[in-house]
């Protein structure tokens, strides 16, 4: 098969790395790709917003299957246009991608279908939004309705912060100039992924990610600074509840409205005292959760993606390595604010010599034989290990071998999970 992967981040490098290993793949092309993806696939420069050009490229290059990595092309309806042209594609339709494209759409669907989630209201003007925040009290969560590249959520700890967030979101037009205000849920966050074919869903391995930029969960939200899998908080029973109470009712609701959901559905959950509640949906693999999932996936990814697209997941099964995986994102200093590009990164080959380490490139490009930074999140240094602690040790050992003056990373990815592991392994009575 000839496969085309769309995207250029760490998630896409992990997908390219996994798909390149499939015996079903004769040719793997990525558009636009990055310096790391270029080791696993042919990279081509295509404008992902120009659907006719994309279709023409697929026809000229006999592409059998297109896999879409990021959310923006999905929300823009690239799957509908590819399928209408007779080209198979993995990912939700434009109508189904509203689950990420509009937080208000998702909240309304949850309310109508009794999917457990935070209490909320929707607003497009500041005064009633501020009144609602005052009535509910702080802490309170302010969310831009539409796509905001992981930066449209503010957890306001005071009403002053809430007012500022409301003004910032509505004033900037971020997320389409609409917002959702919802109650603050206490508990532990987890990422739950399911492969969906419109009717059936297969849960993927659990994962946990880190949204805040600095150690100790301080600083602004980012697109994700690290992740690990499995997530100790997601027990077998909780995973079952997430599937039965959240994912399957959502699939039923989408099918009933004539927009069956096919693709990977990523439920951001808060594990509360009452059980799992939905924080938000994403309509694609998480980044950096995809990196840890691809390391742990024993099965061939390509047949699974095809089965989801073809509506035949009911009889499908995936196998996973029992090893844990962890990834640490190296970002450019200043991210998620203003940062510099173009600085050289040295020592990547040396870092990858450590057993079971894989470095997925996110924002890199090759310049005259050198690898330089070309984005905010630049590398996802990842590793497998018998335990989260072992995987974590390998990741940070690899980071120690990378020389990049303009880079930084969190030093506490997986630290709490390691304490949990240590506690679990201690002899009783100690």
Both 206 and 300 in one domain: the answer is: yes
The whole-number average pLDDT for the span 40-51 is 97
Angle 380-337-226 (CA atoms, 0-180°, nearest 5)?
Answer: 25
Both 214 and 310 in one domain: the answer is: yes
Both 342 and 235 in one domain: the answer is: no
The whole-number average pLDDT for the span 384-396 is 98
CATH of the domain at 235: 3.30.470.20
Average pLDDT of the chain is: 94
Asked if residue 23 belongs to a domain, the reply is yes
Asked if residue 109 belongs to a domain, the reply is no
Both 339 and 394 in one domain: the answer is: yes
Asked if residue 203 belongs to a domain, the reply is yes
Classify residue 297 by its DSSP letter: B
- Output the pLDDT for position 423: 63
- Output the pLDDT for position 428: 47
CB 345 within 8 A of CB 362: no
Both 277 and 374 in one domain: the answer is: no
Both 371 and 401 in one domain: the answer is: yes
Report the number of distinct structural domains present in the chain. 4
The whole-number average pLDDT for the span 372-381 is 98
CATH of the domain at 156: 3.30.1490.20
pLDDT tens-digit readout, 153-186: 889 999 999 999 999 999 877 667 889 999 999 9
Both 54 and 71 in one domain: the answer is: yes
With 60 as the cut, is the pLDDT of residue 429 above it?
no
pLDDT tens-digit readout, 49-83: 999 999 999 999 999 999 999 999 999 999 999 99
- Output the pLDDT for position 227: 97
Both 173 and 210 in one domain: the answer is: no
pLDDT tens-digit readout, 342-368: 999 999 999 999 999 999 999 999 999
Both 218 and 291 in one domain: the answer is: yes
Asked if residue 79 belongs to a domain, the reply is yes
Q: Which residue has the higher pLDDT, 269 or 420?
A: 269
- Output the pLDDT for position 417: 86
CATH of the domain at 374: 3.90.600.10
Both 300 and 351 in one domain: the answer is: no
Distances (CA, A) of 143 to 166, 210, 221: 9, 18, 12
- Output the pLDDT for position 416: 86
CATH of the domain at 60: 3.40.50.20
Asked if residue 253 belongs to a domain, the reply is yes
CB 154 within 8 A of CB 314: no
Residue 422: pLDDT band (50, 70, 90) is low
Asked if residue 151 belongs to a domain, the reply is yes
Asked if residue 102 belongs to a domain, the reply is no
- Output the pLDDT for position 418: 86
The whole-number average pLDDT for the span 85-100 is 97
Both 261 and 235 in one domain: the answer is: yes
Last residue of a domain, one of 153, 183, 213: 183
SS3 state at 325: strand
Percentage above 70 pLDDT, the chain: 97
pLDDT tens-digit readout, 107-158: 999 999 999 999 999 999 999 999 999 999 999 999 998 887 656 788 999 9
Answering whether pTM is above 0.85, one says yes
Last residue of a domain, one of 266, 285, 315: 315
Both 156 and 219 in one domain: the answer is: no
Domain range for 147: 121-183
Asked if residue 113 belongs to a domain, the reply is no
> How long is the chain?
430
Q: Is the dihedral of CA 215, 216, 219, 223 positive or negative?
A: positive
- Output the pLDDT for position 305: 98
Residue 430: pLDDT band (50, 70, 90) is very low
Q: List CB contacts of 50: < 8 A, sequence separation 6 or more.
A: none
pLDDT tens-digit readout, 263-319: 999 999 999 999 999 999 999 999 999 999 999 999 999 999 999 999 999 989 999
Last residue of a domain, one of 296, 315, 334: 315
The whole-number average pLDDT for the span 319-332 is 98
Token pair in block for residue 359: 């470095």
CB 401 within 8 A of CB 392: no
């Amino acid at each position: 098969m000839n496969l085309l992967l769309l995207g250029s981040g760490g998630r896409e490098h992990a997908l390219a790395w996994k798909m390149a290993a499939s015996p079903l793949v004769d040719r793997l092309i990525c558009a636009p790709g990055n310096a790391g993806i270029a080791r696993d696939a042919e990279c081509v420069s295509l404008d992902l917003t120009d659907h006719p050009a994309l279709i023409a490229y697929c026809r000229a290059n006999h592409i059998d299957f297109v896999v879409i990595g990021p959310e923006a092309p999905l929300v823009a309806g690239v799957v509908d246009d590819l399928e209408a042209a007779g080209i198979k594609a993995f990912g939700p339709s434009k109508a189904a991608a509203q689950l990420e494209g509009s937080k208000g759409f998702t909240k309304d669907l949850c309310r109508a279908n009794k999917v457990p989630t935070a209490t909320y209201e929707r607003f497009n003007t500041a005064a009633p939004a501020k009144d609602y925040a005052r009535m509910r009290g702080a802490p309170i969560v302010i969310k831009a309705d539409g796509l905001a590249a992981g930066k449209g959520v503010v957890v306001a700890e005071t009403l002053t912060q809430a007012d500022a967030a409301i003004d910032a979101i509505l004033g900037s037009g971020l997320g389409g100039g609409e917002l959702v205000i919802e109650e603050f849920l206490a508990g532990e966050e987890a990422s739950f992924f399911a492969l969906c074919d419109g009717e059936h869903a297969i849960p993927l391995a659990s994962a946990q990610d880190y949204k805040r930029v600095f150690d100790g969960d301080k600083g602004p939200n980012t697109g994700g600074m690290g992740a690990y899998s499995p997530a100790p908080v997601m027990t077998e029973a909780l995973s079952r509840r997430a599937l039965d109470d959240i994912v399957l009712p959502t699939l039923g609701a989408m099918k009933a409205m004539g927009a069956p959901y096919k693709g990977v559905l990523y439920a951001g959950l808060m594990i509360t005292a009452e059980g799992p509640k939905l924080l938000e949906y994403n309509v694609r693999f998480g980044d950096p959760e995809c990196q840890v999932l691809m390391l742990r996936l024993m099965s061939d990814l390509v047949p699974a993606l095809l089965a989801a697209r073809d509506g035949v997941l009911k009889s499908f099964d995936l196998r996973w390595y029992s090893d844990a995986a962890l990834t640490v994102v190296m970002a450019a200093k200043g991210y998620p604010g203003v940062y510099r590009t173009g600085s050289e990164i040295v020592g990547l080959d040396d870092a990858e010599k450590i057993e079971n380490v894989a470095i997925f490139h996110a924002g890199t490009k090759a310049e005259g034989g050198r690898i330089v930074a070309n984005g905010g999140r630049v590398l996802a240094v990842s590793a497998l290990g018998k335990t989260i602690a072992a995987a974590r040790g390998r990741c940070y050992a690899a980071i120690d071998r990378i020389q990049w003056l303009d880079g930084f990373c969190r030093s506490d990815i997986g630290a709490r999970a390691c304490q949990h592991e240590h506690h679990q392994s201690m002899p009783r009575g100690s």
